[in-house]
C-alpha cells in the first residue's frame, strides 16, 4: 500500500472541480425550488382569503395548482441533483482510493459507473428544469387573464403586435421597432 501523494492529488484534484460544479448546480435548483414554494404559499394564502372577484379567485386557483406542480417538479429535480452530486463525489473518493489501493481493481468500475450515472442524472435534473420553465411560461400567460384590458391579447401577442392592433402592450413588453 505504498503510493505517492502526487498521484493521489492528480487523481482527485482536477476532478474536484466537477464536484464543485455539481454543488453549484444544486444551489441553483434549490433556489428555484424555494422561490416556487414561497410563491405557492403566498397564492394559497390569497386563495384562502377569498376576497377577490370570482374571475380573480378562479385565476388564483389555477395559479395555486400550477405552482404546486412547479414545486413538485423542482423537488424532484433537486432530489435527482443531490443523488447526482453524491455519485460524483463517490467517483472522486473512489478515484483517490484506487491510487492508495492499487490492487483493488474494482474501484475503477466504481469510478466509471458513478461518474457516468452521476452525469446522466445531472442531465435528467436539467430536463426537469426545462419542464418547470414551461410551467413558468404558463404562469406568465395565465396571470393577467382576469384583467379585462389584457385578456387574451396580453397572452398571445407580443408588444409590437398589440401596438399594431391599436392595443397597449402588456407590462414588461416593449414594442419592438
Q: Which ranges of the chain does DSSP label H, i.e. alpha helix?
A: 5-12, 16-49, 54-100, 106-142, 151-156, 159-164
From the list 138, 146, 127, 147, the residue with the least C-alpha distance to 81 is: 127
Residues 157, 160, 163, CA angle at the centre, nearest 5°? 95
Question: Cα dihedral sign for 21, 27, 31, 37?
Answer: positive
Predicted local distance difference test score (pLDDT) of residue 160: 43
- Contact call for residues 154 and 147 (beta carbons, < 8 A): yes
Output the nine-digit C-alpha cell for 176: 419592438
H/E element, 143: none
Show pLDDT as tens, one digit a residue, over the chain (177 residues). 677 778 888 877 777 888 888 889 989 999 999 998 999 999 899 888 876 677 777 888 888 998 999 999 999 999 999 999 999 999 999 999 998 998 999 999 999 999 999 999 999 999 999 998 888 888 787 776 666 766 554 444 444 444 444 444 444 444 333
Q: Report which DSSP code applies to 50.
A: -
Query: How far separated are the first and last CA of the chain, in Å rounded?
Result: 71
pTM of the full predicted structure? 0.70
Domain boundaries, the chain: 17-39+66-157
| CB neighbours of residue 160 within 10 Å | 14
Amino acid at each position: 500500500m505504498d503510493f505517492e501523494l502526487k498521484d493521489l492529488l492528480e487523481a482527485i484534484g482536477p476532478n474536484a472541480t466537477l464536484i464543485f460544479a455539481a454543488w453549484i448546480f444544486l444551489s441553483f435548483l434549490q433556489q428555484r425550488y424555494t422561490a416556487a414554494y414561497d410563491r405557492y404559499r403566498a397564492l394559497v394564502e390569497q386563495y384562502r382569503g377569498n376576497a377577490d372577484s370570482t374571475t380573480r379567485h378562479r385565476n388564483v386557483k389555477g395559479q395555486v395548482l400550477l405552482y404546486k406542480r412547479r414545486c413538485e417538479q423542482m423537488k424532484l429535480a433537486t432530489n435527482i441533483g443531490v443523488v447526482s452530486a453524491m455519485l460524483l463525489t463517490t467517483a472522486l473518493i473512489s478515484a483517490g482510493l484506487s491510487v492508495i489501493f492499487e490492487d483493488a481493481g474494482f474501484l475503477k468500475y466504481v469510478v466509471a459507473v458513478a461518474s457516468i450515472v452521476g452525469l446522466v442524472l445531472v442531465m435528467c435534473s436539467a430536463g426537469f428544469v426545462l419542464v418547470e420553465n414551461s410551467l413558468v411560461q404558463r404562469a406568465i400567460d395565465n396571470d393577467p387573464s382576469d384583467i379585462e384590458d389584457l385578456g387574451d391579447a396580453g397572452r398571445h401577442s407580443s408588444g409590437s403586435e398589440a401596438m399594431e392592433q391599436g392595443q397597449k402592450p402588456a407590462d414588461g413588453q416593449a414594442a419592438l421597432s
